Copies of this chain bind each other. A is one copy, B any other.
Amino acid sequence: MTTTRLHRPTHRDAFELVGSAFENGRLLTMFGRCEVHYDGRAASTLGPGQRLVIYKPDGTALVHTAENREPVNWQPPGSTHNASVRDGQLQIRSTRSNPTEQLDVLFERVETVSAYAVTDRSDLKLTGSEEDLRQWILNQPEVIEKGFHPIATERQTKAGPIDIFGEDTAGQPVVIELKRRRVGPSAASQLQRYVEAITTELSNPATRGILVAPSITDRAASLLDKWEFEYRSVEIE
């Protein structure tokens, strides 16, 4: 029996199903009128209303309204769920530690509960990431400039790892920061921190910084200008 469903159950019947779903590692969906209380890194309350609530076997909890991609409340994976019936409400509490957080969903009425056994899965294959852009550039370094010679990826510095580190035809060090989409000021600052670290480490003030991205905002461009860094427009494919 892979799916168990109840329509407008009593709190006690819902409680039974929910409890066994938590025990048996089922994926659980609930729809009904509820209020939600969260306390942890922040704190929130959500007054009564109809929501779709999802509990996953990995400890995730999601409270969704009819709008937006983001859940209005949630608990990350690693939490533990616990159901109880009290004061005429079905309460489901999800707790975790580090940080200590607690999410309470109080159902006044449950419209539907469904428990699914998820056995069949496969993994996502995604292309177009920053990693793909890096490989594409390493395969044709001339898109940076003629004679550019990559030496290392993820080269460690005191400021963190550099996306691509290399040398130009004059043998000067080049720090490349890659972004797969349009960049703002933070990417320019990130590049600045890396160039600063390499300049210090190599005692070579001729170290160049190049920001590689499909496009760039005005403020980011003026930061690059100030620091005498360069920009290469590179579209991902």
Binding site for B on A (CB under 8 A): 2-3, 5, 7, 27, 29, 31, 33, 41-50, 52, 54, 56-58, 60, 62, 64-69, 71-74, 76-77, 111-112, 114, 116, 118-129, 158-160, 180-181, 185-186, 189-190, 192-193, 219, 223
Give this chain's copy count: 2
- Considering the chains assembled together, what is the distance between the CA atoms of A74 and B69 in angstroms? 8
Q: Is the CB of B3 within 8 A of A31?
A: yes
Q: Majority SS of interface residues in chain A? A: mixed
Residue on B nearest A219 in the bound complex, by CB: B159
Given known A-B contacts A7-B5, A52-B27, A60-B69, A127 and B219 have beta carbons under 8 A apart: no
Q: Is the CB of A124 within 8 A of B44?
A: yes
Query: Chain B residues with Cβ under 8 A from A120's Cβ?
Result: 33, 48-50
Residue on B nearest A237 in the bound complex, by CB: B43
Name the contact of A125 in the complex, choosing from B45, B69, B118 (C-beta under 8 A).
B45
Query: Chain B residues with Cβ under 8 A from A64's Cβ?
Result: 54, 56, 62
- Chain B nearest CB from A81 CB (Å) reads 14
Query: Chain B residues with Cβ under 8 A from A159's Cβ?
Result: 185, 219
Q: Which one of A43, A52, A123, A192 has the highest number of Cβ atoms from chain B below 10 Å of its Cβ?
A: A52
